[in-house]
Amino acid sequence: MRSKRKTYILALAPFLLLCFLFEIIPVIYTVVRSFIPEGGTPGFTLENYINIFTGKLYQRAIANSLLISVLSSVIGLVVAFVGAKAVHEEKGRLKTVFMSILNMVSNFSGVPLAFAYIIMFGNIGVMTMVGANYGIGFLADFPLYSVWGLLMIYVYFQIPLSTLLLIPAFDSIRKEWKEAVALLGGGPAVFWRKVGIPVLFPSILGTFSVLFANALAAYASAYALLMNNISLLPIRLSEQFVGDIIQRPEFGSAIAVVMIVFMVLAIAVQNKMMPKKGGKR
């Protein structure tokens, strides 16, 4: 038994070493540096955090990031629930085709996705010109270069990810449960409200946390579409490290810590809402 345990520890050691070097140490260093005065002078200060939560630019960045992250996660979950349910109930070749398409579109994100939307819905995009020629107002005046246009891009890459995460969860739904509900006089709506969704609830919460973190940290699509014309936390963070005139790594570290706190809070809320079993969540 001890020899097996030693073997497992040795096999796990490289992973633990990489985790320590590239995750734990950088996080600790970022947190410590966020309390250092700008310019790297020795000392302790809360000024970096005060500037984040009192500055209008950074308040807008927090509001925009949270709005887009929450809305894109909720919309992605709703659509993904329908898609995962269809995959669960469908058998045969159609399911294989759907999974192939899903895996393909799940890798289409970042800068290529932003350019695709610009080609379709930009100022002289294909759908924009169609809307202008045929009098379709919402296409001709589509607000792509705004928070709502960016939200649509985020929803696009949230749907495949959430669908892939929810499909395995639907395997826990047993056919016998549906038959039992039907024998008791309940229809599909009753089954999903009383049995299906409560069973899937932990997986739905876990998927929401992943989607929220994915949207909060997304950078490439937003920057390719709007560059610095929209205030988001990832964009404001990158400005502190790649500025051509001045760099503010201490202030950037504080922004990174704020993003980490939001992600941790999302996980904490998920754990709080998780149903208890035997006194444990």
Encode pLDDT of 107-163 as tens digits. 888 888 889 999 999 888 889 898 888 888 888 888 888 888 899 999 998 999 899
158 Cβ contact list (under 8 Å, min separation 6) = 72, 73, 75, 76, 80, 211, 214, 215
pLDDT of residue 141: 85
Encode pLDDT of 154-209 as tens digits. 999 899 989 988 988 888 888 888 888 888 888 888 888 888 888 888 889 889 99
Rounded Cα distance, 227 and 54, in Å: 23
Task: Please name every residue paired with 277 in a beta bridge, in sequence order, or none if there are none.
Answer: 280
CATH architecture of residue range(s) 62-273:
Orthogonal Bundle (1.10)
- Tell me what percent of the residues of the chain surpass a pLDDT of 70: 95
DSSP symbols for 99-149: HHHHHHHHT--SHHHHHHHHHHHSTT-HHHHHHHHHT-HHHHT---SSHHH
> In the numeric block, which tokens belong to residue 61?
């960045």
Rounded Cα distance, 64 and 60, in Å: 6
Alpha helices, DSSP H, located in the chain: 2-19, 25-34, 47-54, 56-89, 93-106, 111-121, 126-134, 137-140, 147-170, 175-183, 188-191, 197-217, 220-226, 233-242, 249-273
Q: Structure pTM?
A: 0.85
Q: How confident is the model at residue 53 (pLDDT cuts 50, 70, 90)?
A: very high
